[in-house]
Structure 1
């Protein structure tokens, strides 16, 4: 096997058909049927790392994960937000059927502390979901987060700057949200996903029922 190809496989830049298998892990539906159809086993795996890239905060990334947060908040475990760019709006979260009594917020200006908090929260077993706003994560750190998520049976959503999209990452799913000219309409560029090739999901709508 050629050296460049071997290097690409080691960085998980090439998907091999033999690597696909159903996760058999508990799943949480995304709330968007078209997105569910493109995810392995038709939902978010409950031990997965999912990266969401946006050009700037506030382009709809929270509405994308709102349905899964509403479902996770029904559990008797915490949903931890690590270093969000702004204080979450409690009335808006309630309107999205998210139980804010299950939410904890961790503030940190240190990249090292943010990573430590992410890893500890994921592997604790006391968190159903972890949201992290982070930059500068290495592939090795993300592998550690994947192991932590498996140990704690927790879903992670990492909101990363668009400038880091080209970096290699072993995350289960990687996607970019792109706004359109239509109000409340967006597109998802699912450029890496477990069990499949990259794909585009067009004309999704933020609305009651979160359908697309």
Structure 2
């Protein structure tokens, strides 16, 4: 997953498949990406955020490389990973995590049929001051 990600320092342009969705929220807390290999917004947020709360990975396509994350300046003791096998109801866990106010960031991978309601996620992230990154396979 994030272990094979290579930062593109020379390319400051955002991928057109990554959308920052604000829909009335300020500041923007939801990033929806259709590019499963573009972790730049996530890494930038994790590296620059001073929020000490947990970072939750829900159903990542692989196990996060903790050494890579530590080298990026992210404390691995703040990271919780829930694999697909651990989840009876990923949508409920996702919404409960966003509403709990326990997480600095919630990161989730879904297919296009599982894409969450943008308005509902925006409201949950605003209420809990949580940043959310959703990677959606098409």
- Give TM-score scaled by structure 2 length: 0.71
Provide runs of 4+ in structure 1 moved above 4 Å.
31-35, 109-112
Q: Which residue of structure 1 aligns with residue 118 of structure 2? A: 142
**Distance apart, 1:126 and its partner CA:** 1.2
Q: Does the 8 Å CA contact 1:118/1:145 hold for their aligned counterparts?
A: no
The root-mean-square deviation of aligned C-alpha atoms, in Å, is 2.9
CA spacing shift, 1:33–1:138, aligned 2, 3 Å: closer
Q: Does the 8 Å CA contact 1:70/1:99 hold for their aligned counterparts?
A: no
Once residues 51 and 105 of structure 1 are traced to their aligned partners in structure 2, the CA distance between those partners, rounded to angstroms, is 19
CA spacing shift, 1:116–1:148, aligned 2, 3 Å: same
Residue from 47, 54, 57 that aligns with 1:70:
47
| Structure 2 unaligned regions, length at least 5 | 1-8, 15-19
- Give TM-score scaled by structure 1 length: 0.48
Q: Which structure has the larger Rg?
A: 1
Confirm whether residue 90 of structure 1 aligns to residue 71 of structure 2. no
Q: Which residue of structure 1 aligns with residue 97 of structure 2? A: 121
SS at match of 2:136: strand
Residue from 106, 109, 113 that aligns with 2:82:
106
Once residues 68 and 149 of structure 1 are traced to their aligned partners in structure 2, the CA distance between those partners, rounded to angstroms, is 15
Higher relative contact order (CA 8 A, sep 6+): 2
Q: Does the 8 Å CA contact 1:81/1:103 hold for their aligned counterparts?
A: yes
Once residues 81 and 33 of structure 1 are traced to their aligned partners in structure 2, the CA distance between those partners, rounded to angstroms, is 26
Confirm whether residue 160 of structure 1 aligns to residue 127 of structure 2. no
Once residues 70 and 147 of structure 1 are traced to their aligned partners in structure 2, the CA distance between those partners, rounded to angstroms, is 24
Residue from 31, 34, 42 that aligns with 1:53:
34
